[in-house]
Chains A and B, each alone.
Chain A
Amino acid sequence: MSEDDITKPAGSRSEGSVPESAQRILELADDELILGWRNSEWTGIAPFLEEDVAFSSIAQTEIGHARAWYELAARLTGRGRVDADTLAFDRDPDEYRCAPFVEARLVPDWAKTIARHWLYETADAIRIEALQASDDPEVAGLAEKIDREENYHRMHADMWAERLRDEARFRSAVDELWPSALGLLEPGQRDRLCEILSREPVDPVERGEHTEELRPLWEEMTMVRRSVPGASW
């Protein structure tokens, strides 16, 4: 697999040149990076100090997980020309494979932020579990390690969902986000999410097209990196 293969969007690649597992890993890494980034926008302005620390910490571990997945994806190219930073910051916005679900800036809507956090963690648990059963020991090992940290994210998301479950703003946010939450998962994993959340399946917002919100986020996220191209930091 070449550097181009892994950094170009699915449409511009020659068919079958990228292993299926590498594509899944890049989708996952992009989801974690972009959601981690969005969640980090609450740092300093969360509803109260303790939550500020907790939510910032979750944002940071998501970005840490993205880094670990990018490193693995880079290793899978087998050339050593691509590293985690190249994958995280040197692609064009259209080349990212994150789901539309993670792209929106939700500050200052805390109810919606928690709705997304809770739906994401619940869906993420399903795909992390599937990756733990991967034939590739590196993928399975990393998924297992990440799951240990995700466990704390799930506890945090669940306690908030429990606290806000009768709150109208939270409920309508969950309804609104539900179709794009489904799009996070592979089609075969979606029934499970419906079952866990006791929700009816709907037409999902699929991965592939990006919302208008990704580009401004990308501009900011890659600003420093682009300011001195090729620099060693």
Chain B
Amino acid sequence: MIYEVFRQEREGQPFQHGGSLEAPNLAFAEAYARELYGRRDESFALWIVPRESIEEVLDPYVADVFDRDYRRVDGYSLKVKLKEARELAAKNAAHFPREESSAISDLGPA
């Protein structure tokens, strides 16, 4: 049986596909994964998954039939909006200068 091996190089990092191995059962696969992907201290953690347990998601791109580019993260130019927001904030700050200590009272009555 073919097992796919996923390696975590350092604690907290995402697991990445490392390769595959062939083994007659899970016990052998564990031993071989250790030997092939762990012996040189190159992995903090290992996952092994029988290849047949992996379901491939076909056609991952959901085609955009209608023109709805606002749904996409690249639909807006955030850069332009951020620039406008910064300019507005700067303008307001110039009109209503505030002392730092008043920051809390600005929140209004409790």
Q: Which A residues form the contact surface with B (CB < 8 A)?
A: 48-51, 53-54, 57, 152, 155-156, 159, 162-163
B36 proximity list for chain A (CB < 8 A): 50, 53
Expressed in whole angstroms, the Cα–Cα distance for A159 and B31 within the complex equals 9
Nearest chain A CB to B48's CB is how many angstroms away?
12
User: Interface on chain A toward B: helix, strand, loop, or mixed SS?
Assistant: helix
Contact with A along B1-44 (1 / 0, CB 8 A): 00000000000000000000111110110011011100100000
Question: B32, A53: Cβ atoms under 8 Å?
Answer: yes
- When the two chains form the complex, which single residue of B24, B27, B32 contacts A54, counting CB atoms closer than 8 Å? B32
- When the two chains form the complex, which single residue of A53, A57, A156, A163 contacts B24, counting CB atoms closer than 8 Å? A163
- Given A57-B39, A159-B28: A50 and B23 interface contact (C-beta under 8 Å): yes
A-B CB contact pairs (8 Å), 26 listed: A48-B22, A49-B22, A50-B21, A50-B22, A50-B23, A50-B28, A50-B32, A50-B35, A50-B36, A51-B32, A53-B32, A53-B36, A54-B31, A54-B32, A54-B35, A57-B35, A57-B39, A152-B31, A155-B31, A159-B27, A159-B28, A159-B31, A162-B27, A163-B24, A163-B25, A163-B28
Query: A-B pairs with the 6 shortest C-beta distances?
Result: A50-B32, A159-B27, A54-B35, A50-B21, A53-B35, A156-B31
Expressed in whole angstroms, the Cα–Cα distance for A49 and B28 within the complex equals 13
Expressed in whole angstroms, the Cα–Cα distance for A57 and B39 within the complex equals 10
* Nearest-neighbor residue (CB-CB) of B33 within chain A: A50
Question: B21, A152: Cβ atoms under 8 Å?
Answer: no
Nearest chain A CB to B28's CB is how many angstroms away?
6
Expressed in whole angstroms, the Cα–Cα distance for A163 and B28 within the complex equals 10
Expressed in whole angstroms, the Cα–Cα distance for A63 and B34 within the complex equals 20
15 new A-B contacts, CB < 8 A, other than A50-B35, A50-B36, A155-B31, are A48-B22, A50-B28, A50-B32, A51-B32, A53-B36, A54-B32, A54-B35, A57-B35, A57-B39, A152-B31, A152-B34, A159-B28, A163-B24, A163-B25, A163-B28
Nearest chain B CB to A118's CB is how many angstroms away?
14
A51 proximity list for chain B (CB < 8 A): 32
B27 proximity list for chain A (CB < 8 A): 159, 162
B21 proximity list for chain A (CB < 8 A): 50
Expressed in whole angstroms, the Cα–Cα distance for A209 and B27 within the complex equals 39
* Nearest-neighbor residue (CB-CB) of B3 within chain A: A50
Expressed in whole angstroms, the Cα–Cα distance for A162 and B31 within the complex equals 14
* Nearest-neighbor residue (CB-CB) of A158 within chain B: B27
Contact with A along B71-85 (1 / 0, CB 8 A): 000000000000000
* Nearest-neighbor residue (CB-CB) of A57 within chain B: B35
* Nearest-neighbor residue (CB-CB) of B26 within chain A: A159
* Nearest-neighbor residue (CB-CB) of A159 within chain B: B27
Nearest chain B CB to A108's CB is how many angstroms away?
19
A156 proximity list for chain B (CB < 8 A): 31
Expressed in whole angstroms, the Cα–Cα distance for A49 and B32 within the complex equals 10
Expressed in whole angstroms, the Cα–Cα distance for A162 and B32 within the complex equals 16
B28 proximity list for chain A (CB < 8 A): 50, 159, 163
Nearest chain A CB to B4's CB is how many angstroms away?
14
Expressed in whole angstroms, the Cα–Cα distance for A89 and B1 within the complex equals 42
A155 proximity list for chain B (CB < 8 A): 31
Expressed in whole angstroms, the Cα–Cα distance for A155 and B27 within the complex equals 9
